[in-house]
Amino acid sequence: MTSNEREWLAHQFDESRPYLRAVAYRMLGSMSEAEDAVQDAWLRLDHADSSGIEDLRRWLTVVVSRICLDQLRARQSRLEDYVGTWLPEPVVQSEATADALQEAVLADSVGIALLVVLDTLTPTERLAFVLHDVFAVSFEEIAVAIGKSPAAARQLASRARRRVREGAPAPDTDRATQQGVVDAFLAAARTGDFEALLAVLAPDVVLRTDGGGAGPLARPPVIGARAVARHMKDNGPRFAPLGRPITVNGGPGVFLGAPGQPRVVVGFTIAHGRVAAIDIIGDPAKLAHLGLT
């Protein structure tokens, strides 16, 4: 490969980087792992015979997808004994981190509740759903990525779509409405007002916590409005006053970072005017890159 050819490839790759990163984040639920997958794809491209690549973007999509499949399969074996809920690495924006780079990263984000449901799929189901339903990749191209027939890829996407539809609440789209619900929830949590908490919680609300598989956040989800309200009545007055507003995966959230206390990011899913999910991420490895203090 000549230096001019390599320079052209590098330029084309950089043009595709945001798209590839968005694919990888939806596949992996981790921006740091997504960046690693994209960089791995560049290394493979740099050592490939580019003369045989007819459609570079399609080739890169297949390569990144296969890299993500391998990572998901390796993760499944690591998480067999994980204590608590494994939650995705959040994409966070605050006033202190509001710059052009953060805006670009935030554009790649997707709601935590959806990522949690995607984690219940098999790796190939997740790939088929993400590529077809989110990025409109054809089943013929997906078949190449997973080593199956287009018909099998279609079936995988169909199964995944059904599970996503059943498991992921569709969040309200108006940000002001979402923030109003979160503000009401936090006000009730600060005072431990049980009835006020019930008023803003969906009947089937779920509270999930991820402490990295260890520590006080390593516990099963709390499910149902009354159970979550009781939990927040007991714990909210201690922690809710410490929260600072942030954006978590495009939705409302708070950051807890009091001196001497573990750092925690909390994301909310608001559906039909009520809190449908509360996701508390305290895994230090997932928060290290955020720059929040």
Question: Per residue in 216-248, pLDDT tens?
Answer: 888 999 999 999 999 999 999 988 898 999 999
Report the DSSP beta bridge partners of residue 265: 255, 281
249 and 158, same structural domain? Answer: no
Residue 163 lies inside a defined structural domain of this protein: yes
pLDDT score at 65: 95
131 and 23, same structural domain? Answer: yes
Q: What are phi and psi of 203, to 5 degrees?
A: -55, -35
pLDDT < 70: residue spans in the chain:
1, 95-109, 258-261, 293
237 and 277, same structural domain? Answer: yes
Q: What CATH number should be reported for the domain holding residue 49?
A: 1.20.140.160
Q: How far apart, in Å, are the Cα atoms of 241 and each of 209, 228, 251, 281?
A: 19, 18, 20, 18
CB 267 within 8 A of CB 281: yes
Strands 201-210, 274-281: pairing is parallel
Question: In residues, how long is the chain?
Answer: 293
156 and 46, same structural domain? Answer: yes
- Structural domain of 267: 175-287
146 and 28, same structural domain? Answer: yes
Q: Is 215 left (phi over 0), alpha (psi -120 to 50) or beta?
A: left
24 Cβ neighbours under 8 A, 6+ residues apart: 33, 34, 35, 37, 38, 64, 67, 68
Tokens (6 digits) for 167:
């498991």
Relative orientation angle of helices 56-78 and 31-46, to the nearest 10 degrees: 130
pLDDT score at 126: 97
Exposed e or buried b for every residue in 118-127, given b needs 16+ CB within 10 A?
bbebebbbbb
Which residue among 134, 167, 200 closes a domain? 167
Q: How far apart, in Å, are the Cα atoms of 130 and each of 36, 88, 126, 152, 208?
A: 19, 16, 6, 15, 23
Which residue among 147, 167, 187 closes a domain? 167
pLDDT score at 89: 93
Tokens (6 digits) for 9:
């490839």
Q: What CATH number should be reported for the domain holding residue 234?
A: 3.10.450.50
State how far the Cα of 75 lies from the Cα of 61, in Å rounded to an integer: 21
Residue 49 lies inside a defined structural domain of this protein: yes
Tokens (6 digits) for 17:
């980087």
Kindly list the strands in the beta sheet with 264-271, ordered across the sheet, starting from the edge strand earlier in the chain: 92-93, 244-248, 251-256, 264-271, 274-281, 201-210, 222-223
pLDDT score at 1: 62
pLDDT score at 259: 65
151 and 55, same structural domain? Answer: yes
Please count the structural domains in the chain: 2
State how far the Cα of 223 lies from the Cα of 229, in Å rounded to an integer: 10
238 and 190, same structural domain? Answer: yes
Side-chain-side CA neighbours of residue 157 (13 Å): 24
